[in-house]
Amino acid sequence: MAEAQVHDDPDVPKGRKAFVPLENNPEVMSSLVHKLGLSPTLSFHDVFSIEDPDLLSFIPRPANALLLVFPVSKSYENFRVQEDRSKAEYEGKGAGEPVIWYKQTIRNACGLIGILHAVSNGTSREFIQPGSDLEKLVQDATPLGPIERADLLYNSQALETAHQSAASQGQSATPDAEDNIDLHYVCFVKDEKNHLWEMDGRRKGPLDRGLLREEEDVLSEKALDMGPRQFIKREAETAGGELRFSLIALAPSLD
């Protein structure tokens, strides 16, 4: 499993706090965000296909956020390093920030960071319940720079308690917090000015992937072309590319 250390999060050293990884399961993710204080009128849903309109039609719309889950490949790492090489470290903060971005400093927490990106941005924020732990977390995070914001998550007992509760609910055997996990989560969200953002706690900051129309959500054809399909195309064209992936949408609940 030597490669898995790189895959999980090369930016988080072993001496840092580690969480039990979340299962890649919409019910587990929904339980976590509802416990934190997201309205139960939003939930996570498996997206079984982004090419078959009939399967895509099962997802309630509009979709507020989209998680792309995949084992990190050598080709992805090469692309990440190349794209980030010319970028400065992100320093955004405050109410004028187009999106709230969280740098990952907790080992095995990429699922949690992806979920927080989903619920902290775009129209999802309208569904945060007043007085909840999630409302306090987002309010406290907003004025902070990326390092201080990461420390806020690192030291949040409410976040750790909710994560532990959700991590114990999965259907598969629960891994140890110190295990090396190779699944990674990237989140796509749409801001109030209709820009599509790629949110990844392993990067130098949020990535603006382009402009959508007001009526286009993160599962629209244009958003899929600018986001997940770019990843799939890149991996398909690379020898040894990683074609195992899954997609999970944050969208209106079915019940």
| 84-112 per-position pLDDT tens digit | 999 999 999 999 999 999 999 998 899 99
- Judged against a pLDDT cut of 60, whether residue 67 lies above it is answered with yes
**Which of 7, 45, 163, 184 is an active site residue?**
184
- Judged against a pLDDT cut of 80, whether residue 237 lies above it is answered with yes
The continuous run of DSSP H or E covering 181 comes out as: none
**Which of 34, 45, 110, 163 is an active site residue?**
110
34 a catalytic residue: no
Cβ neighbours of residue 32 under 8 Å, at least 6 residues apart? 22, 112, 115, 162, 163, 165, 166
Say what the pLDDT of residue 96 is.
92
- Judged against a pLDDT cut of 60, whether residue 152 lies above it is answered with yes
110 a catalytic residue: yes
* In the chain, % of residues over pLDDT 70: 87
Q: Could you tell me which residue, 129 or 171, shows the higher pLDDT?
A: 129
Instruction: Decide: 223 and 212 in contact? Cβ < 8 Å.
Output: yes
pTM to 2 decimal places: 0.90
- Judged against a pLDDT cut of 50, whether residue 215 lies above it is answered with yes
Cβ neighbours of residue 235 under 8 Å, at least 6 residues apart? 73, 75, 76, 241, 242, 243
